[in-house]
Amino acid sequence: MKKIYLLSFLFLSSALVTIHAQNNIYSKYINHPSINLRGAVVELGNINADFPSDGYVVVHFDGECYASVGDRIVVAASNDGNWTSNDGNVGIENSMPGFGRPFSHTRVYPVTAGAHTFYAVGQNFVETEGSGIATIYGTLTVEYFPDSGSAKVESTGFVFNGDVTNTTVVEEQTISVNAPGKIVVRFDGFITSSESDRIVLAASNTMNWSFNDGNVAVEAVNDGGDVDQNSFSHTRVYNVSSAGDYTYYALAQVYGKAFGTGMIWVYGNLLVEYFPTSESEKILSSGFSHTKIDLNGGPTSLTSIDLNAPESGKVSVVLDGYFTANPGYTVVLAASDNGEYTPNDGNLTLEALDLDQNRYSFSHTRLYNIGAGNHTLYGVGEIFGGTGAKTADLFGLLTVKYIPYSATAVNEIAASNNTFDVFPNPSNGEVNIIFKNPVDSKHGIQLVDLNGHILKEYPNNGKEEMMIDVSAFPANQYWIKVGEQAKAIMKL
């Protein structure tokens, strides 16, 4: 029997694992200057994903739309390349040429194992007095929650119509958890309201909202011109200390400016995601409240989050909230991995219409691949062009979601039959397998990638030792699987 060298190389884990799907996240950046949305629904971008088991997906489309005055632009996250009424889209209208309007739309769908496609779509619909031409920048994100995973998601799409003179629960969502963890709550969609009302919207773990980053505020431009719709996004992150049922709320209230009817229509989604703290995913957040922050002179950090990644993976960075500014200057806002921003879908560019209509809720998402080690993620802002006051009020949350590559396919369990060792590890070709326990020869040997996909199967000869050849595969981390047990190997 050959000498075993294993387990000291690259600190690969010797723990035995069972292969099953874990969370994964995908993104597509949307960049369409001057696209014609008149007529049929237009696909703005899509994501193809192959899921190893049944589960749920959160599909989120956020960004900014420059619409022609007189047009209503419908944008939506979708699983079929179309949009539906009510909470199945957000509507965008503009009252002045050249002004961008931010948007955020979320849908949650059950999925079966196999290949699926998800879409960002747009259409000029109902109000078509403009040109039908719009410019849309944004990010389409797909997040997968397998039924077998420890993380979970609950979501409610809804329509609310009523008087919100007082704080009103417009929707609620309960989630059952079995261990301590983090809860991410996002309330987004769009609202129709009276011109003379300011509407506060909030995701909350109580039936009350709080000031600054504890809400977003929006105002209709005018009723007579029918520019009375605003998209919004508000996110909160909460700790849960034990197993149990937890309820979260979508809230609305007229506050600060109450000269209208107090009546609203909300077409929204209340999303609740749970991640146990014992797992490898990390959820980090930082709220920010800046009154009269000077954004002149270059990108300014609104807040930042330090992440120490134990291994390579993906990070989703979301910056949402609301801003108030004086007219004249444009304000650039972005989620970022380096304290800077890039053009088009790499930022949102917002501007106040006048001294009264001067606030928007915004949402900007970026997805990055990162290596092991320390990283800093940012929410940034900058005054960019124009004249006028150089300060703004900004309130919101920066949310960072880290998912290691290995967590997309594996989770540790205790040892059982078919336990084995592998060497050499790393290897540039041949890998020897030494079985420690009686071998069940009905189980083949499989080479599996980090997403749980079987790349190759090898016959099991039932002996104590065998060799497989992995030289044909690219340098990467893989898993050798025997029955329900697996071990990591590194191919050089």
- What is residue 461's predicted lDDT score, i.e. its pLDDT? 74
Average pLDDT of the chain is 87
- On the question of pLDDT at 218 being above 60, the answer is yes
- On the question of pLDDT at 414 being above 50, the answer is no
The one-letter code for the residue type at 139 is T
Reduce the secondary structure of the chain to three states and give it as a string. CCCCCCCCHHHCCCCCEEECCCCEEEEEEEEEEEEECECCCEEEEEEEEEECCCEEEEEEEEEEEEECCCEEEEEEEECCCCCCCHHHCEEEECCCCCCCEEEEEEEEEEECCEEEEEEEEEEEEEEECCCCEEEEEEEEEEEEEECCCCCEEEEEEEEEEEECCCCEEEEEEEEEECCCEEEEEEEEEEEEECCCEEEEEEEECCCCCCCHHHCEEEECCECCCCECEEEEEEEEEEEECCCEEEEEEEEEEEEEEECCCCEEEEEEEEEEEEEECCCCCEEEEEEEEEEEEECCCCCEEEEEEEEEECCCEEEEEEEEEEEEECCCEEEEEEEECCCCCCCHHHCEEECCCCCCCCEEEEEEEEEEEECCEEEEEEEEEEEEEECCCCEEEEEEEEEEEEEEHHHHCEEECCCCCCCEEEECCCECCEEEEEECCCCCCCCCEEEECCCCCEEEEECCCCCCEEEEECCCCCCEEEEEEECCEEEEEEEC
CATH 2.60.40.10 corresponds to the domain 9-20+409-491: yes
- On the question of pLDDT at 351 being above 70, the answer is yes
Q: Give the pLDDT confidence of 29-48 residue by residue, as tens digits.
A: 999 999 999 999 999 999 99
- What is residue 141's predicted lDDT score, i.e. its pLDDT? 98
- What is residue 1's predicted lDDT score, i.e. its pLDDT? 33
What tokens were used for 132?
A: 């039908």
- What is residue 441's predicted lDDT score, i.e. its pLDDT? 56
Q: What are the structural domain ranges in the chain?
A: 9-20+409-491, 281-408
Residue 272 pLDDT level (bands cut at 50, 70, 90): very high
Q: Give the pLDDT confidence of 137-176 residue by residue, as tens digits.
A: 999 999 999 998 889 999 999 999 999 999 999 999 999 9
What tokens were used for 216?
A: 């977003």
Q: What percent of the chain has pLDDT over 90?
A: 60
Q: Give the pLDDT confidence of 65-88 residue by residue, as tens digits.
A: 999 999 999 999 999 999 999 999
Look up the pTM and report it: 0.81
Q: What is the mean pLDDT of residues 346-350?
A: 93
Please state which CATH class domain 281-408 belongs to.
mainly beta
Residue 13 pLDDT level (bands cut at 50, 70, 90): very low
What tokens were used for 161?
A: 């119509």
Residue 10 pLDDT level (bands cut at 50, 70, 90): very low
- What is residue 12's predicted lDDT score, i.e. its pLDDT? 37
Name the residue with higher pLDDT: 409 or 292: 292
Residue 448 and residue 248: Cα distance in Å, rounded?
39
